Amino acid sequence: MKKVLVIIFFLSILTPLSSQIMWQFKKDTLITWHYSGGDEFNGDKIDEVKWNYSYGWARSIFTNKEQQYYTEGHNHKVKNGQLSIQAIRKDTVAKTVDYMKDSDSLIDNKRFFGLNKKTFAFTSGMIQSKETFSHGYFECRLKIPKQKGYWPAFWLFSGDPYEEIDIFEGKSERTSQVHIDTHCRGCDKISYYLSKRSYGGWAKTRADLSGEFNILSCEWTNDYVRYYLNGQFIGNSNVNFKNPKNIIFNLAIPADDGPFHPGPVKKDTGKVAFEIDYLRIWDKSPSHQKKNPELIQRHGTYIANETNFIDKKFNKRKNKLVYGKKSAAKNEGIFISFFNDPGQLQFTVLGSFGKQFPLLEILDEENKILESKLLTQTIVNINSWPFKQKSVTIKISYQNKVASSVIAIP
């Protein structure tokens, strides 16, 4: 008889119900992530304690020849737990850089990009975090515009020294493709035919980025940045980024002769929206856990999905350049996070499951099972239990690994 080595991982944490945990079930290990911050956009306006409306050094990246002027909150709508960043075709005369004179020249690397005060063809919006962040797991649920020619993005940036992690860049006419990359000066160079270049490119997927919400995320460590779409691995950059970074969401409008060209057609005169459901930041250290997080609301039903969002029919050149070596994905698995709604426990299950779904068990203080179900649906109603519990044990089993957390219920 063949002997099989079964490795079981147990994690037990006493934590209030308002704390959030995410487990990452990999093939050979189990990682616990602790919610350390973010924004659920639950109010009716941008939280200006958390966010700025511009880069601070410019209202547009003039070296990209972008057509938009980022306004001071006029193109931002917060409603029903979502942020809508809107682009509007509207001629606007304004300064590119607030602190420069109207007649100052915009110059980069000895190249002239016009005068500081100019006419922008669009107004649009962006937000940049006032706080900077280091290593962790960053995720956002978003939906891009349907109209062609727009350039939404979710990224991390440090200006000095220059380092950039593009978790997601999109082009609204490329509704199933995700652009990912890392940028820095003099590092992260990979072989590209007979030359060297920075990591990045378009990942082809089966997702519908404009028709429905999708979750884009990355894990940033000392040694790499790994990219995910709905919990499924889509790319890996072996780069050593150590500097804290701001988080940025923006909706840019490219020029016909600039990066991510072409821009919108001239007859497109309506409002265009880049929708952001939430930003969540996770950290491996319990000491970084946010003690009193804002209420995380359920903005839709998450159903465990066997769909493989990743298109395997990409050419060999992009296989190496964007997706990394095939071995890079062999240890990937699924992500399961849980948090509270009033009277409910919510679970978000992301990744590629194959034929096996995770098993959820909820145990009372006497270790008796209150609930047992496969995580194909993700809402558990606490009020349906026969009597009030002071604490429960959440136990999730998946592929010979068990994650367990003791939760105090106030």
pLDDT tens, residue by residue, 238-247 = 888 989 999 9
pLDDT higher for 307 or 358? 358
Mention every residue, 6+ apart, whose C-beta is less than 8 A from residue 325. none
The pLDDT, as a whole number, for residue 192 is 62
Q: Give the DSSP letter of residue 131.
A: S
380 vs 394: CA distance, rounded Å: 11
pLDDT at 195 over 80: no
The pLDDT, as a whole number, for residue 316 is 40
Band of pLDDT at residue 10, cut at 50, 70 and 90: very low
Q: What percent of the chain has pLDDT over 90?
A: 57
The pLDDT, as a whole number, for residue 295 is 56
Report the candidate in 392, 393, 384, 305 with the shortest Cα–Cα distance to residue 351: 305
pLDDT at 343 over 80: no
The pLDDT, as a whole number, for residue 322 is 59
The pLDDT, as a whole number, for residue 363 is 93
Q: What count of residues does the chain have?
A: 410
The pLDDT, as a whole number, for residue 13 is 37
CA 326: distance to chain centroid? 23
Mean pLDDT over 158-171 rounds to: 92
The pLDDT, as a whole number, for residue 127 is 99
Mean pLDDT over 97-117 rounds to: 96
Q: What is the pLDDT of residues 226-238, one digit of tens each?
A: 999 999 999 988 8
The pLDDT, as a whole number, for residue 403 is 94
pLDDT at 18 over 60: no
Q: What is the pLDDT of residues 270-279, one digit of tens each?
A: 899 999 999 9
The pLDDT, as a whole number, for residue 38 is 94
The pLDDT, as a whole number, for residue 135 is 95
Mean pLDDT over 209-226 rounds to: 94
Report the candidate in 248, 264, 41, 40 with the shortest Cα–Cα distance to residue 126: 248
The pLDDT, as a whole number, for residue 326 is 63
What are the angstrom distances between the C-alpha of 369 and each of 8, 277, 344, 360, 375? 20, 34, 17, 10, 16
Structure tokens at 47: 């939280």
Band of pLDDT at residue 188, cut at 50, 70 and 90: low
pLDDT higher for 71 or 309? 71
Mean pLDDT over 331-345 rounds to: 80
The pLDDT, as a whole number, for residue 312 is 53
Helices (H), 237-385: 316-321
| Measured torsion, CA atoms of residues 31, 34, 39, 40, in degrees rounded to the nearest 10 | 80
Give domain limits for the chain.
Answer: 14-36+290-408, 51-283
> Is there a contact between 389 and 364 (Cβ–Cβ < 8 Å)?
yes
CATH number for the region 51-283 comes to 2.60.120.200
Mean pLDDT over 178-199 rounds to: 76
pLDDT at 140 over 90: yes
The pLDDT, as a whole number, for residue 159 is 83
Report the candidate in 368, 371, 387, 369 with the shortest Cα–Cα distance to residue 379: 371
40 vs 239: CA distance, rounded Å: 30
Most confident of 17-21, 313-317, 342-346, 366-370: 366-370
Band of pLDDT at residue 6, cut at 50, 70 and 90: very low
The pLDDT, as a whole number, for residue 261 is 96
| Mean pLDDT, the chain, whole residue set | 85
What are the angstrom distances between the C-alpha of 126 and each of 12, 94, 106? 40, 17, 21
